[in-house]
Amino acid sequence: AQSVTQLDSHVSVSEGTPVLLRCNYSSSYSPSLFWYVQHPNKGLQLLLKYTSAATLVKGINGFEAEFKKSETSFHLTKPSAHMSDAAEYFCVVSAFTSGTYKYIFGTGTRLKVLA
């Protein structure tokens, strides 16, 4: 069975410093992995996805994530945080069952960016 663990429920960084949001997954086969961002009172926006191509995935707004099979991790990083990055971030693993792809969500990491 697939599962996702987001290791931090809250992360605070200062503006201009690096961001690291941690995600570990469990999957019985090669997974598809996603990061979504949710700004306050908004829907979910896709940041990036890994689907068994390059292990380093670049997304929107300067974010990237590295798929590490040996560590079963898919951590999200950004070199320099901006105030507009303050949001909740969800790590997701996709599983094909019952005729479609179902998402399993992590519990989310709320990123706070300090001025």
Partner 1 sequence: NAGVTQTPKFQVLKTGQSMTLQCAQDMNHNSMYWYRQDPGMGLRLIYYSASEGTTDKGEVPNGYNVSRLNKREFSLRLESAAPSQTSVYFCASSEIRTGQETQYFGPGTRLLVL
Q: Which of 9, 26, 80, 84 binds partner 1 (CB under 8 A)?
A: 9
Measured distance CA(87)–CA(25) in Å, rounded: 22
7 is an interface residue for partner 1 by CB under 8 A: no
Closest approach of partner 1 to the CB of residue 80, in Å:
27
Nearer to partner 1 by Cβ, of 15 and 104: the residue is: 104
Nearer to partner 1 by Cβ, of 5 and 77: the residue is: 5
Contacts of 92 (CB under 8 A, 6+ apart): 4, 33, 34, 35, 36, 103, 104, 105, 106
Per-residue contact track with partner 1, 16 to 55, x per CB under 8 A?
A: ----------------x-x-x-----xxxxx--x-x----
Q: Is residue 92 packed enough to be buried (19+ CB in 10 Å), middle (13-18) or exposed (0-12)?
A: buried
Neighbouring C-alpha atoms within 13 Å toward the C-beta of 109: 26
Question: Element (H or E) spanning 113, and its range?
Answer: strand 109-114
103 is an interface residue for partner 1 by CB under 8 A: yes
| Contact positions vs partner 1 (CB under 8 A) | 9, 32, 34, 36, 42-46, 49, 51, 90, 94, 96, 98-103, 105-108
